[in-house]
Structure 1
Amino acid sequence: MPEGKIMKALSGFYYVKDKDRVIRCRGRGLFRKKKITPLVGDYVEYQAENDGEGYLLDIDERKNELTRPPIANVDQAVLVFSAIEPDFSTSLLDRFLILVESHHIDPLICISKMDLLTDEQTKKIEQLAKQYEKIGYTVLRSSAIWDDGMATLTPHLEEKITVFAGQSGVGKSSILNALRPDLELRTDQISSSLGRGKHTTRHVELLSIGSGLVADTPGFSALEFSELELDELPSCFPEMVHYGENCKFRGCLHMNEPKCGVKLAVESEDIPAYRYKHYQQFYDEIKSRKPRY
C-alpha cells in the first residue's frame, strides 16, 4: 500500500503527501471504533481510488503527539511570545514549556515584537531572556520586520517538523509570512476590548520552509495539565533536574521535603523565584485535578 504524511486536516478530510502529489483522504470507520483520530504529522498507509481521492488505512506509531494543537511526530516547538501587545507572560510561557517538555519535544523560545519596546522595556525583557538561556533554553529575539531576526530563526527549522505555538496575537502568522511571503497568512490586530489577539488560523497545516516543515496553529490562551502526573512535573523543569541531584531524598518533589536542593537553589537565587512559584502552582493544579476513570 502507498504511504505518505498527513499535511493538513480540514472538514473531515486528510491531505496526504506522497512524494510530489497530495491525496485527499477520508478516515475509515475503524479509526472511530478504535477511538483513534488521525493527526497532521502522522505517517499513514492509504488507498487511492483515483488520482486525487482515497482512504486512510493505517497510522504508523507516533513518537509523540499534542492535543492542543493537534499534531503528531513533532521535533521541536517554537514558542512565540510577544514582548508587548500582549505583554510577555512568564506564567503562560512556563505552561507551554511544561507541555512541550512532557512530550519530549525540544522547545525554542521566540520573543516577537521586540521593535515595539522602549529602552527600559527592552532591558526587562533581556533580563528574562537571559534567565531562560541560563536554564538551557534557546531564546531568539525577533520582529517580523527584522530581516536578521528571520535569518536567526531559519536555521533552526531545517530538516525538522516544527510546531509554532503561543497565545493569540503574538505574531505567529506574521513571522511565517516573513519566512515565506507567498503564504500570505491572514493576521489581525489585537482586540482592544479583549486585550488579546483574534484567532486568525483555523486549522493545522504543515508548510514547507526550506528543508523543514512547520505548522501554523490556532492561537490559544489556556493550557491544562490533563495528562501530566505529579512525579513527572520536576523532570519538566531542567534547572530542577540539575539542582534536584542535591536533594537528600530520592524522588523529592521539592515542596515540603527537608534538605531540598531545589529550594536551596531558589533561596540562593540560582533558580528564579517566579519559576519556583509557577512550579508550586502547577503542582497544586495537578494535585487537585479530578481523577480520571
Structure 2
Amino acid sequence: MNWKKAIVLRFHSDMVTVQDLKSNQKINCYLPGKFKLQKIRPIVGDYVEYSVDKKSDYGRIENILKRKNELYRPKVANLDQLVLVTTIKNPQVDLLIVDKILALAEKERLDVLIVLNKIDLLKDYLDKEKMKRFINIYSKIYPVVTTSKLTKENIDTLEKYLKDKVSTFAGLSGVGKSSLLNTLDPNLNLREGEISEKLGRGKHTTTYAELLYFNFGGFIVDTPGFSNLELKGIKKDELKFYFKEFQEYYGFCNYSNCSHIVEPGCAVKEALKNNLISESRYENYCNIYRELEKDK
C-alpha cells in the first residue's frame, strides 16, 4: 500500500488539489465513490493519504486523517492559529464581529493574532484615539500587530508569526487580507479589492477558501470576507468560557453556573464596575449570549 500524505489546498468541480508533505508537489486528486456514499468530504486544511495513478498522473484520495480542529466560517481544518485582520477606518471596525471571531477561535483552542491593518490611513486625532482604545482593549488578551502595505510597517513581525504554521486570515471584506498576503509573498499574486464608497465596506475579492504556501514556509488560508458571522457549534451556557478575561473570576461568583448577565453577586460584573474588564467586550458578550438564546 504505497500511500502518501498531503494537505488539501482547494477544491474545483469534483477534484481536490493537495500538496505533498514531503516533496511540496501539488497534485490534483479525485474522490472515490465511497466518500460520496458515506457523505464524507475533505475540507481545506485536511491531512489526507493519497495514491497516484501512474498512467494519468492524477491522485486518488484514500483516507482523510482525523482533524485536530475545524472552523465553520471560514471552513478549514487543522489550524495552528487564527489571524484576525481588521481596520479602524475604511472599513470601520465592527467590534461585535471581532468578538464573535475570537469566541470561535477560543472554542477551537486556536492561538490568535490580531492584525490592525491600514494604519497609514489614520491621519487625524480621532482615528488615532480609536486605534489606541482598540489596542488597549485587545492587547491585554491577545498579541496585536499594526500593519500597512504602503509603509510595510511590521510586515517582518507578521512573517515571524506565520512562518512554519498553518494559519487562517479572517475578517470583514475590504480590510486588506489579500493585500497583506501579497506584501508578505508577492508570488501569491492575489487579486486585491476596493472599498465601495456607497456601502462603506469592502467588495469580495476571494470567492472560496484556499490554502496557500508561503515562500518563507507555512500555509495560510485566504478566505472570503464576510459581514455577518454564524456562531455554529457554540451554546449560550458555554460562551463565557470563550471570553479569556473572564477566566480569572471563575469560582468567585455567588452561583456556580453564573451566566454573568442577570445573577447577583457576579464577580465578572464586579470586575466590569472596577474597569478590569472592557465595557465593549462585556456588552458584546451579552449581545452574543442573547443571540444564542434566541437560536436554541
Match of 1:218 in 2: 224
Q: In the comparison of the two structures, how many residue pairs are matched?
A: 289
Match of 2:27 in 1: 23
Match of 2:6 in 1: 4
Offset from partner CA, 1:63-86 (integer Å, 9 cap, x none)? 011121121100101100012111
CA distance in 2, matches of 1:246, 1:158: 40
CA distance in 2, matches of 1:71, 1:268: 39
Offset, 1:289: 0.6
TM-score, normalization by structure 1: 0.94
Quick one: which amino acid aligns to residue 166 of structure 2?
I
Q: Which runs of 5+ in 2 are unaligned?
A: none
Whether 1:36 and 2:50 are equivalent positions in the alignment is no
Q: Residue 180 of structure 2 is aligned with which of 168, 175, 194?
A: 175
Match of 1:236 in 2: 242
Offset, 1:197: 1.0
Offset, 1:244: 2.8
Q: Percent identity?
A: 41
Offset, 1:223: 0.7
Q: What SS does the corresponding residue of 2:153 show, helix, strand or coil?
A: helix
Offset from partner CA, 1:224-269 (integer Å, 9 cap, x none)? 1221012220110001112234212223211222211101011111
CA distance in 2, matches of 1:67, 1:13: 21
CA distance in 2, matches of 1:114, 1:245: 40
CA distance in 2, matches of 1:29, 1:289: 36
Whether 1:274 and 2:280 are equivalent positions in the alignment is yes
Q: What SS does the corresponding residue of 1:143 show, helix, strand or coil?
A: coil
Q: Is the CA contact 2:146–2:153 (under 8 Å) kept in the aligned structure 1?
A: no
Quick one: which amino acid aligns to residue 66 of structure 2?
E
Quick one: which amino acid aligns to residue 24 of structure 1?
N
Q: Residue 248 of structure 1 is aligned with which of 254, 258, 261?
A: 254
Quick one: which amino acid aligns to residue 228 of structure 2?
A
Q: Is the CA contact 1:47–1:56 (under 8 Å) kept in the aligned structure 2?
A: yes
Q: Is the CA contact 1:244–1:260 (under 8 Å) kept in the aligned structure 2?
A: no
Q: What SS does the corresponding residue of 1:148 show, helix, strand or coil?
A: coil
Match of 2:69 in 1: 64
Judged with a 3 Å threshold, the aligned counterparts in structure 2 of structure 1 residues 189 and 28 are, in CA distance, closer, same or farther, namely: same
Quick one: which amino acid aligns to residue 197 of structure 1?
G
Offset, 1:88: 1.4
Q: Is the CA contact 1:113–1:142 (under 8 Å) kept in the aligned structure 2?
A: yes
Q: What SS does the corresponding residue of 1:81 show, helix, strand or coil?
A: strand
Q: Which runs of 5+ in 1 are unaligned?
A: none
CA distance in 2, matches of 1:5, 1:53: 15
Offset, 1:37: 2.1
Judged with a 3 Å threshold, the aligned counterparts in structure 2 of structure 1 residues 245 and 132 are, in CA distance, closer, same or farther, namely: farther
Offset, 1:106: 1.2
User: What CA RMSD, in Å, does the superposition of the two structures yield over aligned residues?
Assistant: 1.5
Offset, 1:271: 0.8
- When structure 1 is superposed on structure 2, of 205-214 and 63-72 the one drifting more is 205-214
TM-score, normalization by structure 2: 0.93
CA distance in 1, matches of 2:70, 2:37: 20
CA distance in 1, matches of 2:14, 2:72: 17
Match of 1:81 in 2: 86
Offset, 1:52: 3.1
